[in-house]
Structure 1
Amino acid sequence: MKNFNFHQTTEIRFGRGRIQELGQVALKYGTRAMLVTTKATVPSLEQQYQKIIKLLEASGLKVTHFDGVIPNPTLEVISAGAQMARDFNAQVIVGLGGGSSMDAAKAISVEATHAGSAWDYLFYKTPQPDASKLLPVIAVSTTSGTGSQVTQVSVITNTHERDKSALYNNILYPQVSIVDPELMLTVPEFVSATTGFDVFCHAFESTINPGTGAYVDLLAWEAISLVVENLPKVLTDLNDIEAREKMAWADTLAGLCIANAGVTLPHGIGMAIGGMYPHVAHGEALAMVYPEFAEFTWKSAISQFSRVARILNPELKQLPDDKAASESPKEIAGFLKKLKLNKSLREVGMPESEIQKLAAQSMVLPDYKGNPRVASEKEMFEIISHCY
């Protein structure tokens, strides 16, 4: 067996009804809590936010609510949240929502307690945040997608530079994550599909990343199988609590995987798409890339691509590994069609004139270097062109 590392410091509280424990959990870290969410654009969200605030207040906490998070949260969003945290003298931050809200909570914790902006503390910059200064973060996931509730990553967007990057440091793991599938019953179809496919991507890319190991492999393949079986069920019946529960578990497993192994080529491209075209959901961006990524990569990771192809289509078990692996692009495309995520870059409004620019931006983050087959500049241009 190859050597591997596995690190996790987040306390995970998983299961139906676990949200009732939020107040008691938050009270361990102080009496002044800032709730971080998106705006309540529908009545069900407003009801959810009020329920959470009441839970916190019932435990004796004073609460302020920052509802300025947007998909692909920007530096301006983080700065506004950090200012509110400072003005309120927040002692603990509760990030409630999908990846955008949980990532924003982590970045706000940094900016509220450090000089400068969160952008000054990206993964490749020095100095890194000081653990002794950070505000503790409790992550409450309401989608099954990013795994942010169990990762040390906070993704933020610099709209001025059209760049999407990340803070990445083991001190950014949430202190506690609450994963309650009942909170996910109100998530609409498109968001369920895009976040659910993100789970698939996190898990699969972890199996081909050089940082993988026996522990990650164990979690990743379980997550992939759960997504393939349960995501279509969720999209057929958004109130299927058992399928929602299994997707929440898959999301948690996949989050643990990327926290310890990491992602590869598709995520580097997906991040570039999100930075340049913020209206494109992260999972949607990954979906546009995945069949072409599989076509480009499968010969360099036959074992993993044959396995994922057979999970998607059990009839391929009769074929040799290389033949099954060669079918993976088609099987992934078929799965995306089932999820109604089979789009091109052209269909989401990307100008053809920016293919070269997107290809160059896709090589800014180091994710592509972890792919079993590393793309050259020319190959990256060809990949993006085919995705277009």
Structure 2
Amino acid sequence: MTKMKALTYYSPTEIIFGCGKLDETAKLAKRFGNKALLVTGKGKSSVNAARRVLELLQGAGIETAHYDGAAPNPTTDLVTEGLGGGSAMDTAKAIAVEASHPGTVWDYNCHTEGPTDKTLPVIAIGTTAGTGSQVTQCAVITRTKDKDKSAVWHRNIFPKIAIVDPDLTRSMPKAVTAQTGFDAFCHNFEAYLSINTSPMVERMALEAIEAIAEYLPKALADGNDMEARSRMAWADTLGGLTNANAGVTLPHGLGMQVGGHCPQVTHGQALAAFYPAFTRYTYPAAVEKFAAVGRILNPGLQAETEETAAAKCCEEIDSFLKKIGLWIGYKELGVTMEDIREIADCGQVLGDYLNNPRVADIEEMYELLVSCYERD
């Protein structure tokens, strides 16, 4: 039996979860004053949510400005423009830093000491179910001119409040549902595998993986299945909590570089393309955990040995990617072999790869990425 390890778990975000909870926005915002900046994207779900939030805030007498320029793979340019996930929540966190500190948000990224407690308060409202950003200390940003995708990672940017209203995810298109849902799977799976994990993180991650395995296909089959949407919103939130406390591993570090070099590729797509190589590279170093996840994805593996169940977990994740329409390679995403070389060379810029049970060097990263270039 594995020896019990010491742990620290931290989450300062107040979570308001449930259908219809969006209606509490103004009451919650009043805690922080009578002025607000609403940061959204231009997608259908964002537009509908923005309209309702503006009504609520303005109806409560809160002076509100609206910036709708947030986009996937948010850039430093968008953050600065907003003053004047990737997501609207990441953009809002970054704006909260830049508006309250000298310089730009890039000056406070994860390679620095980070922002101070002068950071403006953020209320995070998700309209997808995947990033977990509503409960993390992370804001992913890209400096376009350098093709450099990094993050602010600091406890001072945890949202003060997260409103998780599954009703807001009802209008997500299938492609977005699949990509963000797989991102939630990855957050939980990688936090479960991380060398920084803990018993609490492991329990939350396994609960989330069970929910995603069952309910993501149901949400794809029927976008109005609110039980499926609610379960995915919960798994998304768990993914944020697990990520915030244990971090992610090799796929996220490289996935961030894919987004920085090839901004047309969504984060979920970057992860999906890499996972078949990642699982086969990593499972020999984490047999017990791969076996556990394999048995969630296929209960028929209960009778198999740990080694067999772990190896077959890789195949089960392949099957899951096919089921949700994400059996893809980098080539069809518009990533060139030249891009692959650059992405690999930047693969150790972020420290996520060090959390992996098996640590890859640059050439191993390159070989893994190349193996994911085309899919049969």
Q: With the length of structure 1 as denominator, give the TM-score of the two structures.
A: 0.93
Kindly indicate whether residue 130 of structure 2 is the aligned counterpart of residue 130 of structure 1: no
Shift of 1:208: 1.1
CA distance in 1, matches of 2:215, 2:65: 36
- Measure how far apart 1:45 and its partner are: 4.5
CA displacement at 1:99 relative to structure 2: 4.7
* 1:319-338 correspondence to structure 2 within 5 Å: 319-338=304-323
Match among 98, 114, 131 for residue 101 of structure 2: 114
Give the whole-Å Cα distance in 2 for the aligned partners of 1:45 and 1:152: 22
Question: Counterparts of 1:139-178 in structure 2 under 5 Å?
Answer: 139-178=124-163
Matches within 5 A, 1:91-102: 99-102=86-89
- Which residue does the alignment assign to 1:186? 171
* Contact 2:340/2:370 (8 A) holds in 1: yes
SS at match of 1:191: helix
Aligned-partner Cα distance in 2 for 1:27–1:234: 34
Is the contact between residue 89 and residue 133 of structure 2 (CA under 8 Å) also seen in structure 1? yes
Q: CA deviation at 1:360?
A: 1.1
Q: C-alpha offsets along residues 183-240 of structure 1, whole Å, 9 cap, x if unaligned? A: 1101110000000000100001011111111110110000000000000000000111
- Give unpaired runs (5+ residues) of structure 2: none
Find the counterpart in structure 1 of residue 63 from structure 2.
Answer: 62
Kindly provide the CA deviation profile for residues 114-166 of structure 1, in whole angstroms up to 9, marking residues without a partner as x.
1111001001114x2120x2211000011100000000000001110101100
- Using the alignment, how far apart are the partners of 2:228 and 2:52 within structure 1? 24
The corresponding residue for 1:6 is 9
Q: 2:279 is matched with which residue?
A: 294
> How many residue pairs were aligned?
370
1:82 maps to 83
Unaligned runs of 5+ in 1: 84-97
Give the Cα–Cα distance (whole angstroms) in 1 for the partners of residues 77 and 108 of structure 2.
Answer: 15
Give how far 1:82 is off: 2.3
Partner residue, 2:26 = 23
In structure 2, the residue matched to 1:89 is: none
2:357 equivalent in structure 1: 372
**Alpha-carbon distance, 1:59 to partner:** 1.4
Partner of 2:53: 52
TM-score w.r.t. length of structure 2: 0.96
Q: Which residue of 1 aligns with 2:39?
A: 36
Q: CA deviation at 1:310?
A: 1.2
**2:32 counterpart SS class:** coil
Mapped partners of 2:100, 2:182: distance in 1: 34
Tell me by how many angstroms 1:350 deviates. 1.1
Contact 1:82 1:109 in 2 (8 A): no
Q: 1:222 is matched with which residue?
A: 207
Q: C-alpha distance in 2, partners of 1:324/1:125?
A: 42
Aligned counterpart for 1:208 among listed residues 193, 196, 201: 193
Instruction: Give the SS at the match of 2:195.
Output: coil
Sequence identity percentage: 47
SS at match of 1:139: strand
Contact kept? 1:4, 1:211, Cα under 8 Å: no
Preserved contact between residue 40 and residue 46 of structure 2 (Cα < 8 Å): no
Letter in 2 for 1:238: G
